[in-house]
């Protein structure tokens, strides 16, 4: 029976392995795929929460515990990076919008920006950093610490800046985030206990493929109305897309410059993590009960999130080779 099952699963595993090997190309293709087939988005939108939950499970079950413990022995950098992404970014967003009156002029877009700011980094950011050739360990550790804090920091900033704007209270938002994160962590722990970390590492390529398939559910759901929104108001759609790219690159550049003292390779990896926010987690926590312009902004952020890594990979590889050359020169007698 077992050999028969193995033969049955061989073809799907090969296909998932091939898909996982496509790396950032497959991630970028998801955006185009989601736009090209609008009915798919309508079909998959009810399953966004489940897709986000499964993406979190996969990310948690792949955490390198040894690397996590090693980085936690040097907590200063972790604390600084965590404070920047969980406190600094939402505080700057909220205060800037309040002082300029943007929150009153465009409340739906302000809601989108604040949900982006209070979200933790994307769970896929360590994998994307690794696909780009960057050291993903620091990203992974900061991701774990900031994700653990987000139910509490999100509640705080929602109370400060989003009172009366969300369809649920700040405490309810924090409780939902905590339930989603705790539940996915428990499922990931059970999977690691049943199969072991070595087996998960051995099968990382087909798991990458599964990750991309599940990611399609989220991307298709948020991208499904992009063409209709563009045809209805092309200038507005272009303006929001430009805003999404501007915020992505602003966070990337500012974070890289803030942490440049640790080396541009690791600083760029942190910048990539901070600029890619887990909007899916916010959608799951709010059950998608968001205004139309908020949905549109979330959809258009997928362009910089999934296309930028492909564009930035040559820069990342150049920084990696420079760092390796410097390390080799430093160790030479």
296 vs 3 pLDDT, higher one:
296
CATH assignment of 43-313? 1.20.1530.20
Q: Which of 105-119, 224-238, 268-282, 311-325 shows the highest mean pLDDT?
A: 105-119
CA distance 78 to 146: 10
State residue 317's pLDDT score.
67
Tokens of 163: 């009172």
Res. 325 pLDDT band, cuts 50 70 90? low
Section 237-257 average pLDDT: 93
- Return the structure tokens found at 81: 């990076």
pLDDT over 90, % of the chain: 19
Average pLDDT over residues 234-238: 91
CA distances from 99 to 92, 102, 119, 185, 207 (A): 10, 8, 22, 38, 45
Instruction: Report if pTM > 0.85.
Output: no
**SS3 assignment, position 277:** strand
pLDDT of residue 235: 93
pLDDT band of 6, cuts 50, 70, 90: low
What pLDDT is attached to residue 117? 94
Quickly list H helices, the chain: 2-21, 24-36, 38-44, 48-61, 65-72, 75-83, 89-100, 102-105, 107-118, 125-131, 137-161, 170-195, 197-202, 204-223, 226-232, 234-258, 264-275, 279-286, 292-300, 302-331
In eight-state DSSP terms, residue 120 is P
Per-residue model confidence (pLDDT) at position 110: 92
Mean pLDDT across 154-170: 80
pLDDT band of residue 131 (cuts 50, 70, 90) is: low
- pLDDT tens per residue, range 199-211: 888 887 888 888 7
Question: Pick the residue with more confidence: 298 or 129?
Answer: 298
Q: What is the pLDDT of residue 84?
A: 95
Residue 168 backbone zone (phi > 0: left; psi -120 to 50: alpha; other: beta)? beta
- CA-closest candidate to residue 262, choices 120, 74, 126, 123: 74
User: Pick the residue with more confidence: 10 or 56?
Assistant: 56
pLDDT tens digits, 94-110: 999 989 999 889 988 99
Distance CA 274, CA 118 (A): 11
Per-residue model confidence (pLDDT) at position 23: 64
- To the nearest whole number, what is the mean pLDDT of the chain? 80
CA distance 198 to 263: 31
> Looking at residue 5, what is its pLDDT?
47
Please write the tens of the pLDDT for every residue from 258-288. Answer: 998 888 878 888 998 899 898 878 877 776 6
- Where are the chain's structural domains? 43-313
Listed residue (290, 293, 278, 280) closest to 240, CA to CA: 293
């Amino acid at each position: 029976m077992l050999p028969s099952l193995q033969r049955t699963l061989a073809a799907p595993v090969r296909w998932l392995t091939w898909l996982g090997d496509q790396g950032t190309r497959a991630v970028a293709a998801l955006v185009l795929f989601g736009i090209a087939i609008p009915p798919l988005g309508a079909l998959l939108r009810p399953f966004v929460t489940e897709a986000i939950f499964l993406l979190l499970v996969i990310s948690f079950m792949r955490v390198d515990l040894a690397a996590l413990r090693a980085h936690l022995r040097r907590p200063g950098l972790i604390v600084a990076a965590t404070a920047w992404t969980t406190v600094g970014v939402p505080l700057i967003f909220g205060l800037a919008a309040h002082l300029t009156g943007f929150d009153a002029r465009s409340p739906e877009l302000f809601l989108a920006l604040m949900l982006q700011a209070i979200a933790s980094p994307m769970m896929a950011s360590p994998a994307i950093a690794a696909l780009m050739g960057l050291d993903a360990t620091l990203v992974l550790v900061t991701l774990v610490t900031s994700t653990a804090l987000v139910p509490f920091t999100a509640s705080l900033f929602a109370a400060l800046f989003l009172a009366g704007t969300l369809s649920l209270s700040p405490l309810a938002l924090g409780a939902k985030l905590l339930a989603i994160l705790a539940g996915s962590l428990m499922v990931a722990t059970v999977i690691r206990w049943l199969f072991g970390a070595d087996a998960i590492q051995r099968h990382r390529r087909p798991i990458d493929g599964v990750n991309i398939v599940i990611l399609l559910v989220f991307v298709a759901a948020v991208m499904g109305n992009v063409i209709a929104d563009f045809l209805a108001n092309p200038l507005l759609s272009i303006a929001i897309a430009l805003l999404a790219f501007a915020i992505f690159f602003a966070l990337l550049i500012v974070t890289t410059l803030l942490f440049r003292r640790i080396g541009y390779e690791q600083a760029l990896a942190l910048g990539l993590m901070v600029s890619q926010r887990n909007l899916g987690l916010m959608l799951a926590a709010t059950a998608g009960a968001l205004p139309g312009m908020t949905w549109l902004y979330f959809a258009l952020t997928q362009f910089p999130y999934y296309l930028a890594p492909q564009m930035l990979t040559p820069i990342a590889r150049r920084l990696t080779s420079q760092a390796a050359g410097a390390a080799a020169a430093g160790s030479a007698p």
